[in-house]
Structure 1
């Protein structure tokens, strides 16, 4: 059976153009881990969260192949890392002071992943990697709703230029940014910064909006 690649199935979510467009994002399942502080800190909280997410995601992918009939498993490509970001006091997103960042790091899961599958994956991962703080992870259904998104090309530090394009689009189309504890600045990391030339890095930037 051919692997399902959700990035190809849902191009509108993972392959936007480098110009802003409005999108209504449907409900999806994610494993999430919350944290605070500089994501670039070596061995820091963010790096540990990412390790937890990938450990659980690959455990789910590899451990349930023999139970296809029972749980509706299908082989698939593990989805990319994503992040929801906000600044202390719910100020407008600004990555220049990384110590003030609050984040939710997350990876989307296929529809067959429910609480029972997640619980088993937690137990299996804990046996393999007891050093991970798996209690920080949770499985959620996340509904983002109306957003404006755009593909950002290049360094994360150059994101303000792409965010300005998103702001201009929102203003021109009578849309207001709708930031809150639940609706935050959203990034989807399609490139591995450890392996990619900075100029070729691709990141989906997504902002929640509402109509005036």
Structure 2
């Protein structure tokens, strides 16, 4: 039976549009790091490379490669962890120049995926769809633990409004945000969906005060 994250993992990927706490276990990801304005021409290339590998993994049985434990599934959504560079942090006044952004983009992988299998798909992809950014892709296990999250509906530029609600909620729950970095999970394709209708899961790590 096909594993569909929208149906089987709603608590992780489809929160309500109000803050809530959630416990995020260890997951496996393909990741790639970079910096700069996400509105620039280069940014879609990072996304393209991750999806190229992720679909290579999903479609591997059709290429005669099937790892132990393989099951059919829907490819997970793109995620991103965002920060600003060290130079910008020295003069940070609450406003952000998008050119100073530092990002780590990622796509979660099913449990049957391991480092050996990723290398196999990576080598195959380099031959069929070579790209300089493939060298920057890593296979990682990441555990976020306790977090506050909510669904943000609207433009990415309006996210501070939702983060404010999340921080108020965390304070009421006696929780402390552990870092100014945050995670975004993109449920909408910004190339096809109007800004006011974009759906993005916002999440940051917390600990008890």
Whether TM-score is above 0.5 comes out as yes
- Partner of 1:75, secondary structure, is coil
Partner of 2:155: 155
Deviation at 1:103, TM superposition (A): 0.7
Deviation at 1:33, TM superposition (A): 0.2
Q: 1:12 to 1:93 in 2, by over 3 A?
A: farther
Count of equivalent residues: 205
Deviation at 1:198, TM superposition (A): 2.1
Partner of 1:74: 71
- Structure 1 segments of 4+ aligned residues over 6 angstroms from their partners: 92-95
Partner of 1:131: 131
201-210 or 81-90: bigger deviation = 81-90
Query: In 2, Cα distance between the equivalents of 1:93 and 1:177?
Result: 19
- Partner of 1:71, secondary structure, is coil
Query: In 1, Cα distance between the equivalents of 2:13 and 2:199?
Result: 10
Partner of 1:13: 12
Contact kept, 8 Å, 2:35 with 2:101, in 1: the verdict is yes
Q: 1:95 to 1:114 in 2, by over 3 A?
A: farther
- Map 1:19-168 to 2 at 5 A: 19-42=18-41, 44=42, 46-64=43-61, 66=64, 68=66, 70-89=67-86, 91=89, 96-168=96-168
Contact kept, 8 Å, 2:49 with 2:131, in 1: the verdict is no
Partner of 1:209: 206
Contact kept, 8 Å, 1:87 with 1:93, in 2: the verdict is no
Deviations 1:104-148 (A, max 9, x none): 000000001101110111011101111342110011110001110
Query: In 2, Cα distance between the equivalents of 1:23 and 1:174?
Result: 15
Q: 1:118 to 1:10 in 2, by over 3 A?
A: same
Deviation at 1:199, TM superposition (A): 2.1
After TM superposition, the score normalised by the length of structure 1 is 0.90
Deviations 1:160-210 (A, max 9, x none): 110110011011111111017xxx300000000111122221100001111
After TM superposition, the score normalised by the length of structure 2 is 0.92
Deviation at 1:93, TM superposition (A): 11
Contact kept, 8 Å, 2:31 with 2:50, in 1: the verdict is yes
Unaligned runs of 5+ in 2: none
